[in-house]
Structure 1
Amino acid sequence: MLVVEKRERGMVDFGHNGAVATLRDIIIDSRHPASLARFWAAILDDYEIAPYDEAELERLRGEGIDSPEDDPTVALVPGSGGPRIWFQLVPESKVVKNRVHLDIDGDHEPILALGATVSAEHDHWLTLLDPEGNEFCVFPLNTD
């Protein structure tokens, strides 16, 4: 049984350190999931595109999809810890600013070389756009 008790002003204790959920996955809408997944796999440390085994390829073929390149849902999996990142096919292109974005630490130059573009420069970070126009922020690696 879940025990709920009130804490200070608006805080609720659900009986397990106050947490009520665990982050499972991050989903990013995309016009072409496979290519966007490759972009993010190239820039994120310890992430790779989930491998396709024969059972998964057979499942795709059963849906009329002959190649992983046309998979409507492509996953990046972390090597150790962290959530999976899914890229899912949507019919529309991005129109307005993202309400949620990723912040990453890294060197922006290789990211630009992979197809990102600069959206805004700030004092301590850059806002970039991935190849489909999704905003994300890059903070330089600590150089001391």
Structure 2
Amino acid sequence: MGVIHEIVFDCDKPAVLAQFWAKILDGYDVRAYDEDEIARLAALGLTPETDTTVMIDGPGPSICFQNVDGRVFDNNRVHLDIEVTDRGAEVERLKEAGATVDRVLPTYTVMRDPEGNQFCLVDPRVVLQAAAA
């Protein structure tokens, strides 16, 4: 079984949409950029205002706003990231329940429910943080 890791919006302007949702959701704020993150963005020619992935945090799941190169418009614009402890086992369990696998990446697997809606199975936060370090 899994828990909601975050809710993900595919969008054209992540910073603008993140600001919008942070303003209308009680207790949510745009995740702060520290000096290391600002330097990382600068190395990519980006700023917090042009970042391709902006997060907001609050009392519930984090919400991610992302602009994905090559986005396909036949996929969901909003999807759930579900954190699981054993991604391989969960993939198999969900396939038996009628889900299909779209693609497997190092820290997450993109799947579709029986009606074709996308969702992602993601590794636990501690694994993701270690991979980013």
TM-score (norm 2): 0.52
Change (3 A) 1:99 1:52: closer
Cα deviations by residue, 1:77-96 (Å, 9 ceiling, x for unpaired): 11x3x110000013578967
Answer yes or no: is the 8 Å Cα contact 1:28–1:87 preserved in 2. yes
- Alignment-derived partner of residue 84 in structure 1: 62
Answer yes or no: is the 8 Å Cα contact 1:31–1:93 preserved in 2. no
Q: Which runs of 5+ in 2 are unaligned?
A: 80-133
**Aligned mates of 1:76, 1:100 — CA distance in 2:** 15
Pick aligned residue for 1:39 from 20, 25, 38: 20
* SS at 1:24 equivalent: strand
Say what the alpha-carbon RMSD is for the aligned residues.
2.5
**Identity over aligned residues, as a percent?**
44
Moved over 2 A (4+): 90-101
Q: Which runs of 5+ in 1 are unaligned?
A: 1-19, 102-144
Report the number of matched residues: 79
* SS at 1:23 equivalent: strand
Instruction: Tell whether 2:31 aligns with 1:53.
Output: no
* SS at 1:42 equivalent: helix
Q: Compare the two structures and name the one with the higher helix fraction.
A: 2
Greater relative contact order (CA < 8 Å, ≥ 6 in sequence): 2
